[in-house]
Amino acid sequence: MRRTGAALLFGAGLGASLRHLWSVVDGPEEEERVGLLSRVPVVPIPRVQASELTVSPGGSAVVMKYGFPSLANIKTRESYVTSYDPRTRTASWVIERLNPTTLSGPSDRKFCEFKEDESVHMFHRATNADYRGSGFDRGHLAAAANHKWSQKAMEDTFYLSNVAPQNPHLNQNAWNNLEKLCRSLTKRYLNVYICTGPLYLPRQEVDGKLYVRYQVLGRNHVAVPTHFFKVLILEQADGKGVELRSYVLPNEPIEEKVPLEHFLVPIETIERASGLLFVPNIMKRTSSLQAITSQR
Strands 216-217 vs 222-223: parallel, antiparallel or unpaired: antiparallel
Which residue out of 121, 124, 140, 169 is catalytically annotated? 140
Residue 169: active-site member: no
CB 141 within 8 A of CB 197: yes
> Residues of 251-277 as b/e, b for ≥16 C-beta within 10 angstroms?
beebeeeeebbbbbbbbbbbbebbebb
- DSSP label at residue 120: S
From the list 180, 187, 294, 287, the residue with the least C-alpha distance to 245 is 294
Using CA atoms, how far residue 180 sits from 175, 177, 236, 247, in Å, is: 9, 5, 19, 14
| Cα distance between residue 163 and residue 203, in whole Å | 24
* Amino acid found at 85: D
- Helix runs in 115-244, H state only: 128-131, 151-156, 168-172, 174-184
Q: Looking at the annotation, which residues are catalytic?
A: 140
